Amino acid sequence: MGGPATSARFFNCFPGNIFVGIRFKPGGLCMFYRVPLAEMVDKVVEFEDRQLSYILDMDDRLPSRLDEYFLSKKKQAYPVFNLADVVYQYKGQISVDMLARESNMSNRTLERYFFNHVGIGPKEFINIVRFKEVMASLNDRSVEKEFAKIAIEMGYYDQSHFIKEIKRRAGSIPTAIESIFNLRTL
């Protein structure tokens, strides 16, 4: 199982092996398993769920079997979903202070809550959401924009900070990423 990812990560799958990835919403894993998420950030750890392994046959019904399995194990929803939704609504352009005020929590309580239920702090989560918005902006070929304009629109201090963040999270510089998006549109 992989913990919350804060930077680019690549996996090797050896011939004859099958890799199945399940991505949960922020805080979603805590609904099904009691695992120390903060200890798993940017790591892959062995995780065994025998019941889950029995339903992982690769066929067209796998997504429905996974839905059924996890819905049957679902516990109460955590308020972290609401917090994540606020960050998504602001497209990652919200401060931790503002998120704490909107959620009627102190900054410290908000931080503990994120570490316990998401595995990373609220600031890191906000930065990841903002990065996803940057990637969506780079992928939106209907609007031709310069990197500097995208950086300013997405709340980065300057183009240098923007490029450093892209390189950290995507594992590549923005021009290389943009060329990938250009190839997709041909």
Least confident of 14-18, 70-74, 90-94, 171-175: 171-175
For residue 54, tell me if it sits in a domain.
Answer: no
Supply angle C-alpha 164, 158, 85, rounded to 5: 75
Mean pLDDT value across residues 131-138:
83
Q: Give how far Cα 109 sits from Cα of 33, 37, 102, 115, Å.
A: 22, 17, 13, 10
Q: With a cut of 50, say whether residue 185 has pLDDT above it.
A: no
For residue 43, tell me if it sits in a domain.
Answer: no
pTM score > 0.85 for this model? no
- Number of independent structural domains in the chain: 1
For residue 94, tell me if it sits in a domain.
Answer: yes
For residue 74, tell me if it sits in a domain.
Answer: no
For residue 152, tell me if it sits in a domain.
Answer: yes
Per DSSP, the residues of 71-88 read HHH--PPPTHHHHHHHHH
CATH of the domain at 105: 1.10.10.60
Cβ distance 5 to 171 under 8 Å? no
DSSP 8-state secondary structure symbol assigned to residue 3:
-
Confidence bin at 177 (pLDDT 50/70/90)? low
For residue 147, tell me if it sits in a domain.
Answer: yes
For residue 144, tell me if it sits in a domain.
Answer: yes
The residues that bridge with 44 in the sheet, in sequence order, are 2
Confidence bin at 175 (pLDDT 50/70/90)? low
Q: Give how far Cα 165 sits from Cα of 70, 115, 147, 162, Å.
A: 34, 22, 13, 5
For residue 46, tell me if it sits in a domain.
Answer: no
Q: Mind listing the pLDDT tens digit for each residue in 20-51?
A: 777 777 777 777 777 777 777 877 776 678 88
Range of the domain at 100: 80-185
Confidence bin at 77 (pLDDT 50/70/90)? low
